[in-house]
Structure 1
């Protein structure tokens, strides 16, 4: 995450327009954007390094561990509920990702 932020800043200083992106992130730490969307804190830090406003598009799927067997699923910045690892990998992942793309 820190290396990516450094690369973003390095490119921005050279005049390149960049923005961070991580399709799916598992993290306990989240950041709330100006629009009220929840994204991974690392993507928010990388956006700051890239000198762009953080948005849910930078981290469309955020998984927040709730226990060792389930996570809160956040899609495009909005919580959609709890899901077990088995449910997520057992076909529900494709259904959820269809709402993102």
Structure 2
């Protein structure tokens, strides 16, 4: 059985995992009303965004990642953390 060869990255020449892993093959359709479309068009024009697909994709993923980081499990529940009172005391026992 032959070993699976890794493709070389064109820019750096480093070995990378097959680019088919990163290929976008899943389509998501989003419907906008007129005001939403106008807002996106206006934003893209103002900030010189030429690739709306990339802009929308990155904006969605940024929101998803921010939410994941915010909701990351902690040792204590939110209610328990809210009950903890933090007072400003000197850290050094000599102070």
TM-score by length of 1: 0.23
Structure having the higher helix fraction is 2
- Report 1 or 2 for greater relative contact order, CA contacts < 8 Å, sequence distance ≥ 6: 1
- Return the TM-score normalized by structure 2: 0.23
